[in-house]
Amino acid sequence: MCGIFGIVKEKEENLGKILIGAAERLTYRGYDSVGMATISGDKIDLRKDVGKVDTVAEKFNVAEMSGQRGITQLRWATFGAPSQVNAQPHLDSDGLMVGAHNGNVVNNIELREQFIAEGLTVRSENDGESCVHAVERYVKRGYETIDAIRLAYGDLAGDYAFVLGQINDDKLYAMKKGSGLVIGIGEGFTCLSSDLPSLLPLTRKIIRPKDGEIIILWADRVELRSVIDGKLIEREPELITETMDAVQKGGYPHFMLKEIHEQAQVAGELLHLLDGSAEVEILIEKMKSARHLYFIGCGTSYHAAMAGSVFLAQIAGRTAIPVLAPQFISQFAPAVGHEDVGIFVSQSGETKDVLNALNAAETRGMEAYGLANVVGSTLTQATSFCLPLCCGYEISVPATKTFTNQVITFLYLAYRMAGKDTKELDNIPALMEKTLEMVEEQVKEIAADINNWEDMYCLGYGATYPIALEGALKLKEITYAHCEGMLSTEFKHGPLSAVSDGFPIIFAAGPEDTNLIISGINEVNVRGARTIVVGEENASLRANADDLIVIPESNPYISSLLAVLPLQLLSYHMSVMRGYDPDFPRNLSKTLTVD
Ligand code: M6R
């Protein structure tokens, strides 16, 4: 969701290709418009529009853009419709400054009214433009740029990161308030970006600024200053050792398929880490002594939290309340206290809804821990500690490997809470491999058969209920068809009336719930539904369902985890067959940093 990148060189040179490359690397976050600006001497060159990076770059010949400094921004519309004027970067009133932001300035409308009343030229409805005018208004009152930025920080409510350059200068300025920002230091240049992967092809020497810090980039040095008093902040750069292989497709047509096939490997790495983790021991003790336990997340991460809650009850006899992050604020936060423990679950560690819930929890003194994939993300810094999901980069917008590693982490915690030997879990990676081998061809055939339907259901029970919700979310997210996830027993309480001839209904059948699932199958079969069941080999399931997608035998908990793999594949193949790009579904973004 929105991404910014800026670079400072020693002297004017071609920056177009660097800006296009950086923008391409940010596309996985989701966007509808893109823009580039270069600055040299007293000139600002700004080119931007709605559309894909390559289309806009070709239309405006961005590759030829040169300058001593450059900025690119990918916009995912919140304030103002996707349009050329709302695309970023934005100029100040007189074309002396140019800037772009990532995030959400929540008092944008009020600020625009103030700027217009002060005589500034406001061209768009976009909050990125407000960031530029917020600095401009203080520069016009005679403040130095750095002080104007500090004052602007106080005026701009919300969570964002912002980069700004001005003519007749040699620096870029930036500030961070709630949204991701990473600085890169290279040979003869410095740069910054909304995320680390987009910097890695340029440099491995990085600094992670914190909220409330102003960043000044020269070609050969970087300064961090406190927004409160302008004082210099010392921070040593870190060296990143991760390879770039992780952000390539590695021979797969899409990141999603690659990431589905990486699940066994990252599950093995996670289990290894959990076995040796001192933090797991602390978390187990905290969970044991908690008055109430909450597992909090959004979207796919919430489904993992639900799975965790089922595991904890069934394996360890403990209650954990799984809750959607925004609902936690209204329904539970008012009643939590320091005796309660929350585990906040997020792939990105930047989801605003989750961070808002965390804030509400911490305000009440609740103990907060996290499960996050992006190390260094806001969630990892704002909780007592986060268990890492160890998935490497997940580029595809639909979460796959991070979901299975979230579920495995909860399963591991449930085993440990129950005092059960976790050795059995070491079979998971091999079982996942085997599942993919067993189901892939059959799933492709079923995808082709049901792909003309725009409406379907995905049902589960017990440990497979969250899996059914997750399967339905994947289908909706990348096929754009409607698929509702539901507890199988609820289907007869209303949705049954939707069933017509051939209507696809997918069941995730746990090995101990087959009788119940068979009742569900028969209820809809007699009304003409096409029933597709994911489950272990079972003669009754085979006799009753139209299709049985067989997964390897394990136990009910591992079985529920394995059941999600065919559902991920089903949604992937249906999406591709429909001609969509499953990695970048329309209107969506990988990292949702807005309310
Ligand atoms: O980064 P998070 O796990 O906090 O993201 C939460 C949801 O936005 C995310 O899981 C979303 O539902 C996925 N794209 C679904 O595949």
Active site residue 458: no
User: Best substitution site from 301, 343, 395 to test ligand 1's pocket, by max atoms within 8 Å of Cβ?
Assistant: 301
Map residue 34 onto helix, strand or coil. strand
Atom of ligand 1 nearest to the CA of 400: 16
Give the pTM. 0.75
* Residues 464, 310: Cα–Cα separation, whole Å: 9
Tokens for 468?
A: 């059914």
C-alpha 147 to ligand 1 mean position (Å) = 37
Taken in order of first residue, the domains within the chain and their CATH numbers are 3-248 (3.60.20.10), 252-420 (3.40.50.10490), 429-595 (3.40.50.10490)
To test ligand 1's pocket by mutation, which of 1, 76, 256, 298 has the most ligand atoms within 8 angstroms of CB?
298
For Cα atoms 214, 218, 221, give the angle at the middle one, nearest 5 degrees: 85
DSSP string, 355-370: HHHHHHHHHTT-EEEE
- CA 144 → CA 61, 230, 551, distances in Å? 35, 12, 65
Q: Are 53 and 198 in contact (CB under 8 A)?
A: no
d(CA 151, CA 138): 7
Query: Which member of 171, 474, 476, 590 is catalytic?
Result: 590
**Closest atom of ligand 1 to CA, residue 300:** 10
Measure the CA angle with vertex 447, ends 446 and 453; round to 5°. Answer: 105
- Annotated active-site residue 590? The verdict is yes
**Nearest alpha carbon to residue 394 among 25, 28, 52:** 28
Q: Which residues lie below 8 Å from residue 141, measured CB to CB, with a gap of 6+?
A: none
300 Cα to the center of ligand 1, angstroms: 5
486 Cβ contact list (under 8 Å, min separation 6): 457, 458, 459, 468, 469, 472, 495
Residue 8 phi, psi (nearest 5): -125, 125
CB-CB contact of 86 with 77 (8 Å) = yes
Residue nearest to atom 10 of ligand 1 (CA): 300
How far apart are the C-alpha atoms of 370 and 336, rounded to whole Å? 17
Backbone angles phi, psi at 9, to 5 degrees: -110, 170
Query: Distance between CA atoms of 304 and 306, rounded to whole angstroms?
Result: 5
Q: Show pLDDT as tens, one digit a residue, over the chain (595 residues).
A: 688 999 999 999 999 999 999 998 888 777 889 999 999 999 999 999 999 899 999 999 999 999 999 999 999 887 888 999 999 999 999 999 999 999 889 899 999 999 999 999 999 999 999 999 999 999 999 999 999 999 999 999 988 999 999 999 999 999 998 788 999 999 999 999 998 878 988 999 999 999 899 999 999 999 999 999 999 999 999 998 766 666 678 789 999 999 999 999 999 999 999 988 899 999 999 999 999 999 999 999 999 999 999 999 999 999 999 999 999 999 999 999 999 999 999 999 999 999 999 999 999 999 999 999 987 788 998 999 999 999 988 989 999 999 999 999 999 999 999 999 999 999 999 999 999 999 999 999 999 999 999 999 999 999 999 999 999 999 999 999 999 999 999 999 998 888 899 999 999 999 999 999 999 999 999 899 999 999 999 999 999 999 999 999 999 999 999 999 999 999 999 999 999 999 988 888 777 777 7
**Structure tokens given for 364:** 């009440």
**3-class DSSP string for 200-244:** CCCCCEEECCCCCEEEEECCCCEEEEECCCCCEECCCCEECCCCH
HEC-encoded secondary structure of 569-588: HHHHHHHHHCCCCCCCCCCC
